[in-house]
């Protein structure tokens, strides 16, 4: 009987790729591409971007996937353009026109409306969204022709500013918001309030805390840094080893995602105990006696996330890097 080949697992590489996702590429497709380029064992992303949107897509490799929830909670910043005069089924350029108007908003009207959409507001997600309705994705129901009632939910918008008006009469905005905010819904609702209808013509994400535009790397840069794929020279010859050093240099360290947590350095002995899953006593004038969630590091690298109880750190999630 032929020996079954073991599936290649890939490299145990860890860190963050802050991809400048191009328009036309889905988030899942982007993750697959990055995983393939790095030959990584594991990959995931922190916050979906629609195919028609571009910009900052944080992709975690290896141990960094354990920190995805912290980035998901991070503040997002988007720059987006609203085209007035038409409402569309998808609330962006992709959908069919469902409402139209010859009205166009004046700058004064827009500025007067912005406070209504700042702070904690109720927002109804788009029909074409990943929201689950009775176990099914809303966009699947919408594509099958169903119109579903999606309940409104609270979202938080910290900042909403009018940046400029384009020669075409479109309005460019910048928004700083929390998790779960749909910019497409914002364009739809503002258009209805103004009596002129509107949809997203351009959408770019420029920040997902703690990552910013300065961290962005393009697909072209990644592809140019990727070592060529080589083949073995003979049937029994080992496959030549690829040099990933140039590509790995574009990674951001796993621990960067945990800037939101208090961090404490450990000694070699403490680090050894943590790797075994044991608690350690944290010493230091600024170390609290109790804390729900903190991070400990060893030689500048994240080692574990856990809690402090009676002055002792108890690991909940240990990193193998």
Strand boundaries in the chain, DSSP class E? 15-21, 43-45, 54-61, 76-84, 86-88, 97-100, 119-123, 132-133, 136-137, 153-165, 171-177, 198-208, 211-212, 263-265, 280-281, 291-298, 301-309, 312-318
What is the rounded average pLDDT of the residues 1-26? 81
Catalytic residue among 50, 92, 189, 215: 50
Q: What is the mean pLDDT of the chain?
A: 89
CATH of the domain at 86: 3.30.2350.10
The sign of the CA dihedral 29, 30, 36, 37 is: positive
- In the predicted model, is pLDDT for residue 181 greater than 60? yes
Rounded-to-integer distance, Cα 296 and Cα 282, Å:
10
pLDDT of 9 strictly over 90: no
Cα-Cα-Cα-Cα dihedral sign, residues 204, 207, 211, 215: positive
State percent of the chain over pLDDT 70: 87
Residue 30 has pLDDT above 90, yes or no: yes
Task: Name residue, tokens 């393009």.
Answer: 218
- Residues 172 and 268 placed together within one structural domain of the fold: no
CA dist 96 and 90 (Å) reads: 7
Pairing of strands 263-265, 291-298: parallel
CB 21 within 8 A of CB 34: no
Please indicate, yes or no, whether residues 191 and 155 belong to a single structural domain of this protein. yes
Which uninterrupted H or E stretch holds 28?
Answer: helix 27-38
Q: What is the pLDDT of residues 261-290, one digit of tens each?
A: 999 999 999 999 999 999 999 987 788 889
Query: 152 lies in a domain?
Result: yes
Q: 48-52, 171-175, 198-202, 244-248: which range is least confident on average?
A: 48-52
Give the least confident one: 39-53, 125-139, 215-229, 292-306: 125-139
- Our count of domains for the chain comes to 3
Query: Does residue 306 carry a pLDDT above 50?
Result: yes
Letter string b/e over residues 130-146, b meaning 16 or more CB atoms within 10 A of that residue's CB: ebebeeeebeebbeeee
The CATH number covering residue 278 comes to 2.30.130.10
**Is 80 exceeded by the pLDDT of residue 308?**
yes
The verdict on 70 and 34 lying in the same domain is yes
Annotated catalytic, 50?
Answer: yes
Question: Does a structural domain hold residue 237?
Answer: no
- Give the residue with greater pLDDT, 81 vs 10: 81
Question: Is the pTM of the predicted complex or chain greater than 0.75?
Answer: yes
Give pLDDT tens digits for 160-177. Answer: 999 999 999 999 999 999
Q: In this predicted model, what pLDDT tens digit does every residue of 228-267 receive, in sequence order?
A: 887 655 566 676 788 999 999 999 999 999 999 999 999 9
The CA distance from 70 to 305, in Å, is 11
What domain range includes position 39? Answer: 9-74+209-232+242-254
pLDDT tens digits along 106-124: 999 999 999 999 999 999 8
Residue 1: the pLDDT is: 43
């Amino acid at each position: 009987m032929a020996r079954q080949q073991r599936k290649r697992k890939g490299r145990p590489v860890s860190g963050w790729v802050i991809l400048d996702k191009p328009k036309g590429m889905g988030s899942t497709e982007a993750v697959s591409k990055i995983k393939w380029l790095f030959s990584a064992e594991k990959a995931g992303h922190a916050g979906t971007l629609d195919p028609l949107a571009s910009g900052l897509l944080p992709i975690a490799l290896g141990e960094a996937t354990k920190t995805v929830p912290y980035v998901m909670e991070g503040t997002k910043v988007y720059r987006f353009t609203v085209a007035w005069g038409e409402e569309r089924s998808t609330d962006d350029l992709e959908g069919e026109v469902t409402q139209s108007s010859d009205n166009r908003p004046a700058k004064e009207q827009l500025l007067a409306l912005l406070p209504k959409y700042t702070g904690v507001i109720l927002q109804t997600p788009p029909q074409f969204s990943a929201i689950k309705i009775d176990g099914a994705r809303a966009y699947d129901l919408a594509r099958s022709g169903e119109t579903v009632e999606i309940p409104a939910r609270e979202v938080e918008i910290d900042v909403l500013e009018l940046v400029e008006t384009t020669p075409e009469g479109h309005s460019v905005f910048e928004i700083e918001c929390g998790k779960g905010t749909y910019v497409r819904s914002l364009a739809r609702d503002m258009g209805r309030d103004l009596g002129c209808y509107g949809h997203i013509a351009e959408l770019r994400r420029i920040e997902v805390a703690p990552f910013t535009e300065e961290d962005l790397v393009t697909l072209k840069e990644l592809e140019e840094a990727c070592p060529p794929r080589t083949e073995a020279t003979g049937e029994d010859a080992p496959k030549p080893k690829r040099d990933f050093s140039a590509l790995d240099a574009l990674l951001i360290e796993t621990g960067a995602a945990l800037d939101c947590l208090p961090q404490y350095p450990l000694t070699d002995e403490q680090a050894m105990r943590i790797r075994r899953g044991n608690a350690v006593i944290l010493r230091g004038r600024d170390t609290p006696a109790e804390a729900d969630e903190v991070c400990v590091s060893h030689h500048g690298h994240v080692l574990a996330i856990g809690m402090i109880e009676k002055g002792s750190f108890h690991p909940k999630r240990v990193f193998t890097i």
